[in-house]
Amino acid sequence: MVSNTNKILNILKKFTKNELISLFNIALDSAKSNEPDMKSDCRYCSSNKVILYGKKHGKQRFMCKDCGRTFITTTCTIREMSHQPYDVWEGMIEDTLNGNSLSHSELRLGISHQTAFNMRHKILLSLQDIERANPLMLQDVTELDETFVLECYKGKSLPSYVTRKPRKHGAKALKRGISNEFICICSGAQRKSNVFLKAVNRAKPSSIEVSEVFDGHIADGTLILTDGLRSYNVLEDVADCTIKNVTGEKTSFYNLNTVNSLHSFVKEQYKFYRGVATKYINRYCTLFEYAFRSRISDVEKLKAAILKIERAYTIENIKVESLSHI
């Protein structure tokens, strides 16, 4: 008589490798115990008249008695359309917030490069959504400056308008000083508090760009310290703030030390990631903002916020949303 184990093994032999992987993930998904209970409200109409409605791929399905639609725990969340179980998502979010590389996550979580890439970019998009919902406000004493990072066409051949040869990892720019090979990141650092980063173009920012970048992010009454770049004067129209050029100041108060340490952090991160593809630079800028101030302490809070976000991200979102056309 064939034992139950052998019967199961015989059945499993008929599956392809990919089918086995998804079967394994479904088993893991239903076995996991750390997934919080879903909230009882309907994902589509927010009604609370929701009933249990069987299972789909091992996941509990629900039905809304008001709008008649069905959904599962992952519907309208960052995990929608993903075969990865909850703990892999937790691991990927932790790795992203802790600044670990994609190859680190691939090995640690047993996922493919493409899966790690897609999950990473869904997480970056969710961080941008979280920031949009809670716009960052710089106040009190805030230092503003710019930093420059090398353009990067990681993973892609150079676009036709770039006439230089591709650079090797760690190679320097061809021209000395600030050239069009550099991307300018506008930075704001409130002392002992929030920081703000946004890539705008390839040169020192114009008044229009400064106004676009910081509008809505400078509180009234802020003392803004700069190195004297005139474009920042436009901020007096954006908020009721005072702008002070600290170049040549000898006192210990009037300096740009906070924004300079933010720039060192960005450059370290940039080096660690071996460049960030220029089209994704602003997605990573948002990550750097959170990483610089929260470092390790806020990871749990942020992880919970990402997992609770009420939005699904598609491959199309990853391809087109918030790209930097610099």
Interface positions with Zn ion (CB under 5 A): 42, 44-45, 47, 64, 66-67
Q: Which residues pair with 145 in a beta bridge?
A: 187
Instruction: Give the residue with the Cβ less far from Zn ion, 50 or 287.
Output: 50
- The CB-of-317 to Zn ion minimum distance in angstroms stands at 24
Q: Which residues pair with 147 in a beta bridge?
A: 185
Q: Give the integer Cα–Cα distance in Å for 22 and 320.
A: 28
Instruction: Give the residue with the Cβ less far from Zn ion, 76 or 136.
Output: 76
**Which H helix or E strand runs over 40?**
none
174, 184, 188, 262 from 326: Cα distances, Å: 19, 9, 20, 22
Cα–chain center distance at 164: 30
- The CB-of-66 to Zn ion minimum distance in angstroms stands at 5
**Which H helix or E strand runs over 71?**
strand 70-72
3-state helix, strand, coil in the chain (%, to 5): 40, 15, 45
Burial grade of 128 (CB within 10 A; 0-12, 13-18, 19 or more): middle
For residue 62, give the 3-state DSSP assignment: strand
Instruction: Give the residue with the Cβ less far from Zn ion, 27 or 45.
Output: 45
- The CB-of-65 to Zn ion minimum distance in angstroms stands at 8
- The CB-of-73 to Zn ion minimum distance in angstroms stands at 15
Q: Count each helix (H run) and each strand (E run) in the chain, helices first.
A: 11, 8
- The CB-of-48 to Zn ion minimum distance in angstroms stands at 9
* Half-sphere exposure at residue 180, Cβ-oriented, CA atoms within 13 angstroms: 5
Instruction: Give the residue with the Cβ less far from Zn ion, 38 or 238.
Output: 38
Instruction: Give the residue with the Cβ less far from Zn ion, 70 or 84.
Output: 70
Instruction: Give the residue with the Cβ less far from Zn ion, 49 or 104.
Output: 49
- The CB-of-53 to Zn ion minimum distance in angstroms stands at 12
- The CB-of-101 to Zn ion minimum distance in angstroms stands at 41
Burial grade of 246 (CB within 10 A; 0-12, 13-18, 19 or more): middle
Instruction: Give the residue with the Cβ less far from Zn ion, 71 or 313.
Output: 71
Q: Give the integer Cα–Cα distance in Å for 260 and 275.
A: 19
Give residue 11's identity as a one-letter amino acid code: I
Instruction: Give the residue with the Cβ less far from Zn ion, 43 or 121.
Output: 43
- The CB-of-310 to Zn ion minimum distance in angstroms stands at 13
Q: Give the integer Cα–Cα distance in Å for 4 and 128.
A: 50
> Is there a contact between 278 and 257 (Cβ–Cβ < 8 Å)?
no
- The CB-of-41 to Zn ion minimum distance in angstroms stands at 8
Task: Tell me the two tokens of residue 323.
Answer: 């790209």
Instruction: Give the residue with the Cβ less far from Zn ion, 74 or 96.
Output: 74
Give the CA radius of gyration of the chain: 24
